[in-house]
């Protein structure tokens, strides 16, 4: 028996990666405790002379609005938080939106989303880590004495409750804890386990997760980096082989959810999926079987006359990175294969056939409305990528149990 939360598999390429125990759960940051220090490296939006530490905010209320550039739910909260911030003078209450992502990406996100709150860069994630943020979006209310009053989802805040707080009344607030609860996915679980060791130039870790489906389910992916928590086996397989759900016939029954962390060697970003494939095949004891079937897919072509400049050849000055999600892509130094794979997963839910003829690395900035399937086609057309839905002969992956003894042990965390 393997206890829930222990590792399934951990190995490193060319370096020995020991099996690690999960770090013990620190005491959560709770209501009534002194708020951890706020360390703001710099602001993207704030008045001149805005405080950069918790002491500078003494005497007024603060709502710390933790968000991520890759998070669709965060995007949906922007108008709500803008309206809340506008209801109070800066001497009464300030909404400070805090983000630990790459500054260039955050800057584009702020402009694109029209954020009107104060926006602070948390380079290195010091403030985010101090507040034990385990999922986005998350709001923490701190009173004028520097004490935590509540930790809630931002969409559960309303102006009337905040006004009561500012006026000295005692409105009903959820007790909450800043750290995501045990049934929510942690998008940075491997940081707490110290898996991110710069001395290792590649690693792959697969473990059991107690997270369930819900608001905090995350599967972050950038070129050369795969990180997820609360992920079902089907989603792991689909991601590893860059296929859509229509291309997978999985005969392995596994009701469990998993966490995964893969880092490919530098300048070998394409190896991340291959590493994940090997990890899954060895862990679950199967051999991939492929079969050709006629299914719906999307053919992607490039029309330079329709391009608006948002898809452009990379200049090589930036590291590969950014994010791909259900509401859009913001990527740098990225191969077209990664873009088509991500479109299959996040935009179309079906295979994407690359007929663009594009080679090399690209930067891409494109957004669409995830609630409107047609908007992805329109947004891509504006950047010169013409997507057409067709029926074609396509390979389908069939996964069935192989090594039954090994597979049974892996499926039973005890």
**For residue 88, cis peptide bond before it (omega within 30 degrees of 0):** no
pLDDT in tens, 14-62: 332 322 222 233 334 566 778 888 888 899 999 998 999 888 999 999 9
* Model pLDDT, residue 390: 94
pLDDT in tens, 179-193: 434 455 565 566 544
Other C-beta atoms lying within 10 Å of the C-beta of residue 331: 25
Comparing CA positions, the residue from 262, 260, 276, 283 lying closest to residue 201 is 262
**Residues in the chain with pLDDT < 50?**
1-28, 175-182, 192-196, 213-218, 403-414
Comparing CA positions, the residue from 72, 82, 71, 168 lying closest to residue 119 is 82
Helical segments of 87-232, H only: 103-113, 126-130, 159-166, 189-192
Matching residue, tokens 């596994």: 254
Q: Supply angle C-alpha 183, 185, 187, rounded to 5.
A: 155
* Model pLDDT, residue 111: 87
pLDDT in tens, 301-343: 999 998 888 888 887 655 556 667 778 888 877 888 888 888 9
Supply 229's token pair. Answer: 């928590």
* Model pLDDT, residue 171: 65
Residue 89 and residue 76: Cα distance in Å, rounded? 24
Matching residue, tokens 């296929």: 243
- Taken in order of first residue, the domains within the chain and their CATH numbers are 42-166 (3.40.30.10), 189-407 (no CATH)
* Model pLDDT, residue 186: 60
- Judge whether 94 and 61 are in contact, CB under 8 Å: yes
Matching residue, tokens 């080679």: 359
* Model pLDDT, residue 75: 78
* Model pLDDT, residue 278: 92
User: Mean pLDDT across the chain, nearest whole number?
Assistant: 77
The β-bridge relationship of strands 42-45 and 118-121 is antiparallel
């Amino acid at each position: 028996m393997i206890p829930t939360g222990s590792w399934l598999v951990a190995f490193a390429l060319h370096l020995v990666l020991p099996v690690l125990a999960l770090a013990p759960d620190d005491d959560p940051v709770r209501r009534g405790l002194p708020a951890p220090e706020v360390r703001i490296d710099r602001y993207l939006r704030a008045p001149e002379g805005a405080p950069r530490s918790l002491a500078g905010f003494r005497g007024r209320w603060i709502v710390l609005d933790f968000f991520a550039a890759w998070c669709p739910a965060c995007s949906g909260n922007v108008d709500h938080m803008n309206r809340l911030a506008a209801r109070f003078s800066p001497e009464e209450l300030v909404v400070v939106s805090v983000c630990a992502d790459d500054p260039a990406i955050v800057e584009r996100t702020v402009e694109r989303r029209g954020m009107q709150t104060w926006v602070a860069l948390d380079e290195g994630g010091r403030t985010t880590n101090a507040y034990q943020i385990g999922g986005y979006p998350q709001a923490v209310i701190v009173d004028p004495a520097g004490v935590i009053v509540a930790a809630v989802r931002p969409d559960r805040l309303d102006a009337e409750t905040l006004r009561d707080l500012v006026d000295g009344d005692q409105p009903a607030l959820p007790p909450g804890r800043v750290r995501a609860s045990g049934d929510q996915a942690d998008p940075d679980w491997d940081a707490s386990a110290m898996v991110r060791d710069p001395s290792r130039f590649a690693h792959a870790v697969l473990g059991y997760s107690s997270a369930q489906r819900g608001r905090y389910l995350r599967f972050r992916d950038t070129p050369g980096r795969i990180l997820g928590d609360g992920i079902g086996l089907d989603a792991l397989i689909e991601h590893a082989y860059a296929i859509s759900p229509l291309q997978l016939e999985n005969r392995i029954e596994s009701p469990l959810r998993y966490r995964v962390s893969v880092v490919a060697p530098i300048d070998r970003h394409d190896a991340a999926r291959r590493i994940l494939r090997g990890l899954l095949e060895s862990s679950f004891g199967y051999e991939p079987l492929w079969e050709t079937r006629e299914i719906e897919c999307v053919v992607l072509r490039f029309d330079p006359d329709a391009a608006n400049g948002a898809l452009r050849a990379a200049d090589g000055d930036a590291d590969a990175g950014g994010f791909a999600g259900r509401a859009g892509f913001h990527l740098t130094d990225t191969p077209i294969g990664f873009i088509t794979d991500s479109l299959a997963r996040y935009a179309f839910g079906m295979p994407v056939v690359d007929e663009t003829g594009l080679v090399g690395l690209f930067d891409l900035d494109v957004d669409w409305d995830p609630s409107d399937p047609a908007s992805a086609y329109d947004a891509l057309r504006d950047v010169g990528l013409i997507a057409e839905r067709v029926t074609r002969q396509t390979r389908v992956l069939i996964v069935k149990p192989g090594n039954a003894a090994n597979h049974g042990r892996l499926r039973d965390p005890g």
